[in-house]
Structure 1
Amino acid sequence: MCLFLLTCIPVEEIFAQNKPGFIKRFIQKSVSDTTSPGKSSFRIYPTLAYAPETSFEFGFSSLFLFQAKQDSLNRLSEVQAFTFVTLEAQYGIWLDNAIYGDKDKWFILGRTRFQRFPLLYYGIGPETNGKEPALIDANYILLKQRVLRKIIPNLFLGPEVDYQQLYNTKFNQPDGHDVYEPPLGSHGTRNLGLGAALVFDNRHNVLNVRKGLFGEISFLKYNQRLASDYKFYGFNVDVRSSHKTNDRNVLAWQLYGNFMTGDIPFNQLALMGGEMIMRGFYTGRYRDKNMLAFQTEHRWLPFKFSKRIGGTVFAAAAVVAPQVNEFSWKHIRPSGGVGLRYLLFPKKDIFLRLDVGFTKEGPGFYLFTGEAF
């Protein structure tokens, strides 16, 4: 998939078109950051993309940054939104949030998805054939939130809820012949999971961590008594660490694991690939009940010769398996890549990232606000 940025628009300028010199001010404002410390900021980014399964895709990304009570000593909170529509009449709205309360009393972390979008399905397991994927066209809803309360400094505990639904589904076999047995949930599924999360987080800037540690252990249980079609449960482990090597450079790594048991619909299995981890693989290129993944990245933020342009190199490896004791060295899939960075908010140290991930199956392109982890 190819994805690239058209421009960056500060939303406050949209309403000033009747003033002289609007175009000049519009361009200047687009590449400047006049926000004082503690003040909130909002930007909109028109985007254009192309993918074989969607044709051309047009959308808008937006980013809202703020600090509780406009106090610069509080952590930087972020809410990101992305809307899109394609020439194939597909559409969607994505929303991600990491919101810190005053003096970290509360931490609300989650994501929301609504989309009508095709899902490529390559089968389940560590050795699936990638040449003839099935196409599952469906409407998809995801609502996932953790509402966490500070226990001691940097340590949070609280409930987690996860609701996922597929409906209006169509399972299309490749080239009109039956290659795959339709997986669990391929004709539509609805599942509500309840659980808890324990999070350690001493980062100050979620979108660009120059120094800090994030660690999460969470548990979710889905039960037919709680508006779920299937009964299953799972544990999630996510550890991320960032280290400054000098004023501009950062070395970061992440260890991520999903461990699930029960009757799990195909869309809620552990999925390898995507814009966050194992960049270069299509999301769900490999999927199973269990997954372990590791990635590391070196970031130049920015380069010495530029005030705004930076870059990165990254490498990753992951493996999926039906059981934890069936993880195998021969099934480990590697990926790696490079990226460019543009310093969008100098006063808040926020970058746009354009990454290219490479695998044996080809490249993947990603454009987002903030680092992958």
Structure 2
Amino acid sequence: MIHFLRLTFFWFLLAGSGAQAQTLPDTTRPAQLDLSDLGQRWFHVKLVPGADSLHPDKPQWAVLPSLNYSPATGVAVGGILTTAFYPKHTPHTRLSTGQLYVGYSQYNQTFVSALSNIWTREHRFNIQGDYRFHNFPTTTFGLGSNTQLANVSAIDYNHIRFYQTIYAAVGRDYMLGAGYLLDHHFSITNVAPDGQPTDFDRYGRTAQSTSSGVAVGLLRDRRGNPNNPTGGSYLLVQYRYFAKALGGSSNWQAIWFDYRRYVSLGGRLEKQMAFWSFNWATFGGRVPYLDLPATGWDSFGNTGRGYTLGRFRGPTFFYAEAEYRTQLTANGLFGAVLFANAQTVHNWLGSNTLLPIDSSVQGCLVKVWPGFGGGIRVKVNKNARTNLAIDYGLGAGGSSGLYFNLNEVF
């Protein structure tokens, strides 16, 4: 549910995940500059390798420090072990990557995660893994789209995740896949400041919950470079089925829809419009509270800039965002973005945080929450088009937040 933002100037291995065959340099624009160039110029240290540095038959490894920040975690420090490699004798295959991250935050949160994205020869198969353990004291605001910041209550839990998915090519840019998904939450506690019952109580307080199921999906990725796309689109449609028979707490189902589009506006400053639609609906049973769709509960924790993690939660989550991107300098070292988004969740009829109207129409009262803001970009690796992203977002009802990321948010 959470992708913890790694702020490190050395994450070149994962940054190269979208780099494939090289292209000829563009002689019509100034030479491009990144932090590696500055490191060489000022300190005579090469921070990231060049485009040809990855040996086609030899994995690259690095152990890196990490400094992170988000509204939900505050400042977090840790370390990352990364690896990157190509399948043997296939240097033009997409780069396969893996990482192990261990971190600790100022809010006494502990993170351990291992992520892998493996490509086989000729892109016939893509194998994705997501394994996590989190001890995560945080906040929740109840269920539905009419919650306010005053509805906040403390929630603490441990979380184990095991996701394994395999996609197989079925045509030009299209892949079909299937996988196993497990989310286990335990030692769950929830306390409201005034000691009154919360939506977690009304929904059905439990000390632990398990969602165990299978997923089938369609993937189409035409971005070329997923770190910082210059054009193209991305589509993921996934059906998820969770069952008691597989060890889960309940039977339930979900549809996951993620679509992104990138439109170049041309010019030497690489101006671009990027659009994102992320939608997640659950049905067919009682979903464990911490597995309900929520703000920032997408795979990489990036939805809802302007709001904190888990700000809105409900049976369905609908999200849309548009972002304007441009370089600030012709050499590509600095850039900027402006973004606007909107989100809503469906209301749960048992919540007391809904507006005080007749209960028969509570489920129809859905409020849309906008967010907007801007940020700066610093080029970390020009070959992989990797940016350090620092954004500030504002939301309605007094919400705001500062966000650090490596690579674009979407």
1:232 partner amino acid: W
Structure 1 length-normalised TM: 0.84
2:280 to 258, 270, 293: 258
| Paired residues of 1:215 and 1:239 also in contact (CA < 8 A) | yes
Residues 200 and 289 in structure 2, CA contact (< 8 A), matched pair in contact too: no
SS at match of 2:122: helix
How far apart are the structure 1 equivalents of 2:376 and 2:164?
A: 30
CA RMSD, 1 decimal:
3.2
Residues 196, 362 of structure 1: CA spacing in aligned structure 2 closer, same or farther, 3 A cutoff?
A: same
Q: What stretches of structure 2 of length at least 5 have no aligned partner?
A: 14-38, 349-360
Question: Matches of 1:293 and 1:5 in 2, distance apart?
Answer: 24
Greater per-residue strand proportion: 1
Per-residue CA shift, 1:33-65, capped at 9, x if unaligned? 4341654665624215486x7665322356544
Which residue of 1 is the match for residue 235 of structure 2?
215
**Contact 2:219 2:235 (8 Å CA) reproduced:** yes
Deviation at 1:99, TM superposition (A): 3.2
1:311 to 336, 355, 364: 336
Whether 2:404 is the aligned partner of 1:370: answer no
Letter in 2 for 1:358: L
For 1:317 and 1:332, the matched residues in 2 are separated by: 6
- 1:140 aligns to 2:159 (yes or no): yes
State which drifts further: 91-100 or 210-219: 91-100
1:123 aligns with 2:169: no
1:260 Cα offset (Å): 0.8
- Listed as ranges, the matches of 1:317-336 within 5 Å are 317-322=342-347, 331-336=367-372
Distance 1:6 1:145, change over 3 A: closer
Deviation, structure 1 residue 213: 1.4
Supply the AA of the counterpart residue of 2:180: V
Post-superposition CA distance 1:289-318 (Å, at most 9, x none): 112111111222x43344422221111111
Alpha carbons of 1:92 and 1:198: their partners in 2 closer, same or farther (altered >3 Å)? same
Equivalent residues, number = 358
* TM-aligned CA deviation for residue 335 of structure 1: 0.8
Give the 3-state SS of the residue equivalent to 1:277 in structure 2.
Answer: coil
Matches within 5 A, 1:32-47: 32-36=48-52, 39=55, 44-47=64-67
1:288 aligned residue: 314
Q: Distance in 2 between matches of 1:192 and 1:63?
A: 28
Alignment map for 1:54-133 (pairs within 5 Å): 56-61=75-80, 64-69=83-88, 71-87=90-106, 89-133=108-152
Relative to 1, partners in 2 of residues 1:110 and 1:303: Cα closer, same or farther, differing over 3 Å? Answer: farther
Q: 2:260: which partner in 1?
A: 240
Q: Match of 2:45, SS?
A: helix
Structure 2: how far apart are the matches of 1:63 and 1:113? 16
Q: Which shows bigger deviation, 172-181 or 146-155? A: 172-181
Distance in 1, matches of 2:408 and 2:363, equals 29
Relative distance call for 1:269 and 1:166 in structure 2 (3 A) is same
SS in 2 for 1:267: helix
Q: Which amino acid aligns with 1:192?
A: S
| Structure possessing the higher relative contact order (Cα contacts under 8 Å, 6 or more residues apart) | 2
SS at match of 1:353: strand
3-state DSSP of counterpart to 2:294: strand
Assess, with a 3 A threshold, how the Cα gap between structure 1 residues 155 and 37 changes in structure 2: closer, same or farther.
farther
Q: Identify the residue that residue 174 of structure 1 maps to in structure 2.
A: 193
Q: Give the equivalent residue in structure 1 for 2:223.
A: 203
Secondary structure in 2 aligned to 1:131? helix
Partner in structure 1 of residue 376 of structure 2:
340
Alignment CA distance shift 1:49-1:9 (3 Å): same
8 Å CA contact 1:298–1:314 kept in 2: the answer is yes
Moved more, 26-35 or 285-294: 26-35
